[in-house]
Amino acid sequence: MTEMVYGAMPVRAGEPVIPRWWRTVDKWTMGCILLLFGTGLLLGLAASPPLATRNGLPPFYYVQRQAFFGGMALLAMLFTSMMSPAQLRRIGVMGFFVAFGALALLPVLGTDFGKGAVRWYSLGFASFQPSEFLKPFFVVLVAWLMAASFDINGPPGKLLSFCVTMIIVAFLALQPDFGQAALVLFGWGVMYFVAGAPMLLLTGVGGIVALIGLFAYNNSEHFARRIDGFLSPEVDPRTQLGYATNAIQEGGFFGVGVGEGQVKWSLPDAHTDFIIAVAAEEYGLVLVLAIILLYATMTVRSLFRLMRERDPFIRLAGTGLACMFAVQAMINMGVAVRLLPAKGMTLPFVSYGGSSLIAAGIAVGMLLAFTRTRPQGEIGDILIRRGR
């Protein structure tokens, strides 16, 4: 089994960890992440001072915090990217149970910060959102279960992964946090598809999701209000979507100029959920397209590198992480331009937020570890050796 996964190519004996890591890691993906983080700091300089002023804080209070949490996220990314797949599997499984325990205790110990959804723990100096950390660990656990189902006489890993997914989705929907619930369900669906799920089964799951959405619309005022606002032909200019839509229109192709934007004075979430509106207004479509290109480059490169991977666990986990990362970015930007209902989801590495930044660092670190170049060998070499 080891030969099938890692092939017959020689490994440099005694090579230090850091040189081996640098030789095998995807530097393009790392570069994209660093550029996204730098863009987030740049936009934070524009978007956060009005909020700091309203809260009686120093002008660059939130930028300094973003730089601090971003530094921690980058350290977490580098440290995680140096781990082996076996180490990531162990940490992912243990981390999942810790994060799930924190998620389950939210109704008792959590707070909503006046936003109508109990999603955070208040630590006094900062807040902690368990669902952000749950996502990368969830992907690793589900990939492990699905990969185990390929073994002869292995457990029913795909069925177990579905049960785990439904439990997580139920807990997230009770907060309510339908955006994260949909993202988790999407991640499971992508991994299940890569694992060889029949289209009929995925279509049935899609039908079940549609029925759950209809039930939520009829029984959740929070969910129904967001759907009605999205479907309404008129946008209330006094809402966050109204401000964001107007800012994007005002920005045009090249923007109104650095520091000249007005939406940051009206949007309470200009530095988090609607940071792309600030980018579009001050820097125009040029910066928005550059941000989209960075996310696309990272995702496509990761998927192409994973296509050469023969270990099913690595292939499934890497695919889930890459697709969930890209879809979260797409959802955030889609909400800002009113292509999707409001979700309350951050833009990875660009939006302000301690939990989202550090969790994104862990997720990308795992992705970098899974996409590191490994000696796979040629399939012909493996067949020849097994035929001897």
- The pLDDT of residue 114 is 67
pLDDT over 90, % of the chain: 45
Scan for tokens 């493996």, then name that residue: 382
Q: Is residue 84 part of a domain?
A: yes
Q: Is residue 31 part of a domain?
A: yes
* Domains identified in the chain, total number: 1
pLDDT band at 376; cut points 50, 70, 90: low
Distance CA 133, CA 341 (A): 23
CA 204 to chain centre: 25
- The pLDDT of residue 380 is 43
- The pLDDT of residue 108 is 86
Per residue in 207-251, pLDDT (tens digit) is: 877 887 787 777 777 677 777 766 776 666 667 777 788 888 888
- The pLDDT of residue 118 is 82
- The pLDDT of residue 233 is 67
| pLDDT above 60: residue 13 | no
What is the torsional sign of CA 180, 182, 183, 187?
positive
Overall average pLDDT of the 50-73 stretch: 90
Overall average pLDDT of the 303-312 stretch: 92
Per residue in 118-149, pLDDT (tens digit) is: 888 888 777 888 999 999 999 999 999 999 98
pLDDT band at 378; cut points 50, 70, 90: very low
Per residue in 145-182, pLDDT (tens digit) is: 999 988 888 889 999 999 999 999 999 988 888 888 88
- The pLDDT of residue 123 is 80
Q: Is residue 5 part of a domain?
A: no
Per residue in 99-114, pLDDT (tens digit) is: 999 999 988 888 877 6
Q: Is residue 194 part of a domain?
A: yes
- The pLDDT of residue 136 is 96
Distance CA 68, CA 74 (A): 10
What is the chain's mean pLDDT, rounded?
A: 85
More confident residue, 58 or 380: 58
Per residue in 331-356, pLDDT (tens digit) is: 999 888 888 877 778 899 999 888 89
In the 8-state DSSP scheme, what is residue 83?
S
3-state secondary structure of 215: helix
Distance CA 275, CA 247 (A): 11
Per residue in 192-203, pLDDT (tens digit) is: 999 987 777 778
Q: Is residue 23 part of a domain?
A: yes
- The pLDDT of residue 202 is 75
Residues 6+ apart with CB under 8 A from 209: 185
- The pLDDT of residue 173 is 85
Per residue in 245-299, pLDDT (tens digit) is: 888 888 888 888 877 777 887 777 778 888 898 899 999 999 999 999 999 999 9
Range of the domain at 45: 14-372
Q: Is residue 94 part of a domain?
A: yes
